[in-house]
Chain A
Amino acid sequence: MSEHAPAPLGGKLVTPVTLCLGAISLAAGLVMIVRFIFGLGAVTNLSDGYPFGIWIVYDVVIGSAFACGGYTMALLVYIFNKGEYHPLVRPALLASVFGYSLAAVSVMMDMGRYWNAWHIFWPAYAQVNSVLFEVATCISLYIMVMWIEFSPAFLDKLAFGFLKKIVPNVKKIVAKLMFLFIALGVLLPSMHQSSLGSMLIILGNQIHPLWRSGLLLPLEYLMTAVLLGFAVVVFEATLVSLGFRRPMETPLLAKLAKFIWGLLLAYLALRIGGLVMRGALPHAFQVTLESFWFWVEMICFIVPAVMLASTANRNNAGKLFGAAVLLMLGGFMLRINGFLVGYETGDGWHYFPSLPELILSVGLISFEILAYIVLVKLLPVLPAMKPAVSR
């Protein structure tokens, strides 16, 4: 892989793609305005039977897991000292910081009494027994940590006016303490990604037996978050190579795929073992909506486990990409199933996201991609390429 330091890509910012993404982001902005004037009921299909919709389950529970690329790459490079993956760290971190920051935006949209949000961090209100308290504080801290981790990429751009004197000092301090922020950047996601699973424990019997994993929930969610982090790195690296016409990073990704495979086998052992141990497996063989979605979820994990077993497949950019997409779908389904499909509070409740709910979620994703494109062009994120190499 290239030993070149990260460099801005340059190029035009206004393209048909960025314009399109901008338009969808604007539509999401309209939904936000309507939500704040007329309330949640005016734009969502939420009910007391389904108090959490896609703004929580997709944007936060799934979105933050999709944003685990920065976490897993930091774990690999800085904790397990696998230096050869260093070029993948900064792009993964950029995607992560946006994924998490936009999850926070979505939470503010979903929070009914958003003006009280600060209560979570205020000792007189904070309720430390609550799993959601842990999730909320931990995610907020992690967002700050990620912006600091990413700051070497943009601090130089801020050195104008009176900041000119301050920025070099800030850079020095950040560089000196970076090891601590890296450590926090691994600790915090380990905490809240597992806690997102723990959130289901108190929902008790309202969760279908196939997803009522009890004390295994935090482990299942943590392991799949790490899996998703790796899968997303493969996904992003492939799309960046194609989209910006850069050479594929397949040799590096193929090595990464071997880790994914090992972890995937461990996860499947835990998931299936858990089902067998608590006697929930028979539910998988009944003809129900839940069992259908259970198998969709399981197939999305089992097929990549088979695919990635072969060295030839791991070295094939297309198959590797396919396996990564399936894994992302698997993690998506595990979370949708746990929080929505397998959640039953009694007869008569139904939920499918409304059009405005979908527009906001899609709009936030569009904004994330838009910001990623703009920032890799402006800031040193991707490894510099020799002109001769680029097509």
Chain B
Amino acid sequence: MDRRHFFKASLAGSAALAAATTARPVQAREAHVLSPDALGLLYDSTLCIGCKACVAACKQSNDMPPEFQANTEQPYWDMPLDISGKTLTVIKVYRHGTMDKKDEEQNGYAFIKKSCMHCVDPSCVSACPVSAMQKDAKTGVVSYSKDACIGCRYCVAACPFGVPRFTYDQTFPQISKCQLCQHRWKDGKYSACAEVCPTGATLFGKVADLKKEAARRRSLKPGTQTAFPRGQLGGPEQSYPGVVGKYVDHLYGETEFGGTQMVMLSGVPFDKLGYPDLPPRSDAITSETLQHTLYGGLVMPLVFLGALAYAAKRNTKQYDEEEKGGHHE
């Protein structure tokens, strides 16, 4: 084969790969949809008073160790500043200027919860090479199995919310993430963070119901009185009268990344609260569509292998014959 042929062949090869990868494949992997029985949380930043009872209850229910800050003189209190290998949920504060008013972007402050969003189409599940991250088909809970996990941390890298965390300090480390307290369900209990929340800022329930509740709050006039449920939506009656907040026109998690099962309301734009602006299409779809296009049924690799084997067979045979009949070239 002369050089021109070499270039032709390599260009043809590159073009084939380019066509396979850049052209939108005929069959893009369909977006996963929310299960009608999906469970989740509604977090309303305007109701949150920053008491962090949820953080404490989460630690207790999930048997997580306390976290001390290096600059604290006497390490008596659990003081996580962010979720970590030891902490599955935290309440963070947004501060601006004089911090006079709650839930105001200018010269105000606001609280925000950080924990797993339980994505409808989660990147961590798609990234995990050993099925250690699973999404329950019915409840939609994204769970983690340390018995399956190899500790590669691709889930940590992939999650757009920075949720799965890793215990780097342990000899036998593992991933830590909120699993919606599904281990408590068998005792008739639900997410500890929602159970202890005194204002109903964190509310547990079916995602469909939570979205209806969010829509109800958004339809009310800010400053008027309404009843706010607490604990579990559809559970025992624990509602109390409160004042409707002034929400930004955004239910975070409704469309982000194909939707999430923790949805949030706030008086301050979400990008200010550390929540990224995400497209409605999960990157997992792009990634999986590419993999399926290239490797689906191993068709392309096998065809490619056949062509390579044919060329290799022909060319090595030539060597053998040449070597038998004297040296080549």
Instruction: Show the binding face of A for B, using Cβ within 8 Å.
Output: 3, 36-42, 44, 46-49, 51-52, 76-84, 86, 110-114, 116-117, 119-120, 124-134, 136, 178-180, 182-184, 186-187, 190-191, 194, 198-199, 201-206, 214-216, 218-219, 222-223, 258-259, 262-263, 266, 343, 345-346
Q: Are B172 and A203 in contact (CB under 8 A)?
A: no
Interchain CB contact (< 8 A) of A215 among B21, B130, B153, B328: B21
Instruction: Show the binding face of B for A, using Cβ within 8 Å.
Output: 1, 3, 5-7, 9-11, 14, 17-18, 21-22, 84-85, 123, 126-132, 146-154, 156-158, 160, 162, 165-166, 168-174, 274, 276, 278-279, 283-284, 286-288, 290-292, 294-295, 301, 304-305, 308-309, 311-319, 327-329
Q: Are B154 and A216 in contact (CB under 8 A)?
A: no
Q: B287 to chain A: which residues have CB within 8 Å?
A: 129, 131, 198, 201-202
Q: A78 to chain B: which residues have CB within 8 Å?
A: 311-312, 315-316
Task: Report the minimum CB–CB distance from B44 to chain A (whole Å).
Answer: 23
Q: A190 to chain B: which residues have CB within 8 Å?
A: 304
Q: Are B7 and A262 in contact (CB under 8 A)?
A: yes
Please report the C-alpha to C-alpha distance between residue A118 and residue B174 in the assembled complex, in whole angstroms: 17
Please report the C-alpha to C-alpha distance between residue A365 and residue B312 in the assembled complex, in whole angstroms: 32
Q: Are A83 and B312 in contact (CB under 8 A)?
A: no
Please report the C-alpha to C-alpha distance between residue A343 and residue B287 in the assembled complex, in whole angstroms: 17
Interchain CB contact (< 8 A) of B165 among A44, A48, A262: A48
Q: Are B152 and A79 in contact (CB under 8 A)?
A: no
Please report the C-alpha to C-alpha distance between residue A360 and residue B274 in the assembled complex, in whole angstroms: 36
Q: Are B10 and A263 in contact (CB under 8 A)?
A: yes
Interchain CB contact (< 8 A) of B128 among A82, A112, A130, A178: A130
Q: B162 to chain A: which residues have CB within 8 Å?
A: 48-49, 345-346
Contact A129:B288 (CB < 8 A) given known A81-B315, A219-B17, A259-B6: yes
Task: Among A38, A119, A178, A222, find the residue whose CB has the most chain B CB atoms closer than 10 A.
Answer: A119
Q: A206 to chain B: which residues have CB within 8 Å?
A: 157, 160
Q: Are B173 and A39 in contact (CB under 8 A)?
A: yes
Please report the C-alpha to C-alpha distance between residue A125 and residue B129 in the assembled complex, in whole angstroms: 8
| Complex: chain B residue closest to A37, CB-CB | B171
Interchain CB contact (< 8 A) of B156 among A40, A48, A79, A114: A48
Q: Are B171 and A116 in contact (CB under 8 A)?
A: no
Task: Among B158, B279, B313, find the residue whose CB has the most chain A CB atoms closer than 10 A.
Answer: B158
